Chain A
Amino acid sequence: MTNLVAQLELIHKAGASHLPTAAAAYESAAAGVTGVSPPASGDAWESANSAVNHILIESGENVALAGDVLRLLAFELAEQDGETGALLDKIGLEEVPSLGPDGWSDEED
């Protein structure tokens, strides 16, 4: 029998760590592209870099959103099975964090 709480911890980790890190990699790639400053024909390059930057930023936002979904999912599934306390113990939190417009309550400054 697979340990349900262990599986939920993995889902939470994917949502709280792996996917946000992938989203951050997109941000880095986007910043790298938009920071390119060629020696000539600057305007055309700026337009192209800006277009690519926005695409990569949007991809990163979509990946970050997927992270939010998985994190919410882990807590939702834990609640359905009465394992919220066990999951919180496993991931080292005292209470279920909330997701607001500025991000997760346990990640705010």
Chain B
Amino acid sequence: MADLEDIDTVLSRVSGDGYIERINGKIDDLMEKLREGDAALTAEGYAPGDGGSPWGSTDHLGETISDLVSIDPGSFEGPITAYSAAALLLGADLMHDKAIEAVSPDTYPSETVTQYMEKAHKTLAGDGTPADPGWTGDSATSFEEDFAKYFLGPGQTVVNQRWMINSLQTIMEAHRAVYARTRNDVEDLLDKALEAAGMADDLTPGGTAKFMVTVVAAVVAISAAGATAPAGAATWPVLAATTSAAASVLGAVPADDPQPYDLQACCCYDLFFSVQGAANKLKGDRDDREAEVTEALNEFTSQVTSGSTREKLVGPVVADSGGDSPINWDGDNADLDDGYADQFEPPG
């Protein structure tokens, strides 16, 4: 990926109200210079009879550009942090992309699912010492091997669930990048157009001003989603990296290289329509990128709701040797299957 500025740098520049104030000032400046440069360009322009967009209207062009930057990429921060916090609650630390988890260091839970499961598991398994040798027998083994183990670090059920949530987080980050790159491209467009318009009557005949369309590369971040398989994952008979929802998303949204766009800057009249064309291209590219993010999201949803994948994400349920629930219900009262209890052998 050539000449693509780091997304964090872009985000810091284009998020928040400061960007909008800056961009509105640039829009006003550009429109004023365009009107000064050619009398055919006016604030209202000329309304066509068919009710379409007014021709030569700097107000309309300004609104078109404003619409492009109406969504603040900073507003994605809350959702991204929420995903990070949810993933952290599950545990299985060291299994995942630390860069993703670091989003919400303040939300690190004091204890996680895996830690609570570890405490529960330890009561049955013991610590192997003579004082705490642990319970044995078929039911104890089944509880450990067929259930609890999947929820302990690096229990594959929790790892899969972390992939699942981290995938959502990464898609959300890609979604944010679409709006951040769009804002960045709009400012680049305005800067280049202002620079050209500032030359007024001295605009170079046949000249052009180049700006870069980077929104086409906005979803590159998805390529990093869940790509790191946890150590030992292959030893667990559940989701492998190549079949996980995150991995399936990888190929769904390829990113393009940033594209140069030449503004026709030979005169203000041409520059106006060139900026208008550039704004329309940016809108189209942004919408295309967003559609691809939505497609990746829909693919993700399809993956995690499919039968076998969903089972591996939900994880196992406690069962007796026959695969049935060890709890019997007699009317409104539950009782434990006698055979299940009999297959626990107490510590010696």
**A residues adjacent to B (C-beta < 8 A):** 1-2, 4, 7, 10-11, 13-15, 18-19, 21-22, 25-26, 28-30, 32-33, 35-41, 44-45, 47-49, 51-52, 55-56, 58-59, 62-63, 65-70, 72-73, 76-77, 80-81, 98-101
B158 to chain A minimum Cβ distance, whole angstroms, is 9
B271 to chain A minimum Cβ distance, whole angstroms, is 31
Q: Which of A62, A65, A80 contacts B314 (CB 8 A)?
A: A62
B285 to chain A minimum Cβ distance, whole angstroms, is 15
The answer, yes or no, to whether B335 is at the interface (CB within 8 Å) is: yes
Query: 28 A-B contacts, Cβ less than 8 Å apart?
Result: A2-B133, A2-B348, A7-B135, A7-B346, A11-B123, A14-B119, A14-B120, A14-B124, A21-B116, A25-B90, A25-B112, A25-B116, A28-B89, A29-B86, A30-B86, A33-B165, A39-B72, A40-B179, A40-B290, A47-B297, A55-B313, A62-B318, A63-B151, A66-B148, A66-B318, A68-B327, A69-B336, A69-B340
Contact with A along B166-190 (1 / 0, CB 8 A): 0010011001000100000000000
Count residues of chain B with CB under 8 A from any CB of chain A: 72
| Cα(A25)–Cα(B89), bound, Å | 6
**Interface residues of B: mostly helix, strand, loop or mixed?**
helix
Q: Are B175 and A40 in touch, CB under 8 angstroms?
A: yes
A27 to chain B minimum Cβ distance, whole angstroms, is 10
| Cα(A28)–Cα(B133), bound, Å | 34
Known contacts A22-B120, A63-B151, A73-B341; A51/B301 CB under 8 A: yes
Known contacts A40-B175, A76-B336; A29/B119 CB under 8 A: no
Interface window among B50-58, B77-85, B250-258, B261-269: B77-85
Q: Are A69 and B314 in touch, CB under 8 angstroms?
A: no
| Cα(A63)–Cα(B301), bound, Å | 24
Q: Which residues of A contact B168 (CB under 8 A)?
A: 33, 36, 48-49, 52
Q: Which of A13, A37, A48 contacts B297 (CB 8 A)?
A: A48
| Cα(A45)–Cα(B340), bound, Å | 43
Q: Which residues of B contact A10 (CB under 8 A)?
A: 123
The answer, yes or no, to whether B19 is at the interface (CB within 8 Å) is: no
Q: Which residues of B contact A44 (CB under 8 A)?
A: 294, 297-298, 301
B215 to chain A minimum Cβ distance, whole angstroms, is 14
| Cα(A64)–Cα(B188), bound, Å | 55
Q: Give the interface centre of A66, A68, A101 by most chain B CB atoms within 10 Å.
A: A66
The answer, yes or no, to whether B305 is at the interface (CB within 8 Å) is: yes
The answer, yes or no, to whether B131 is at the interface (CB within 8 Å) is: yes
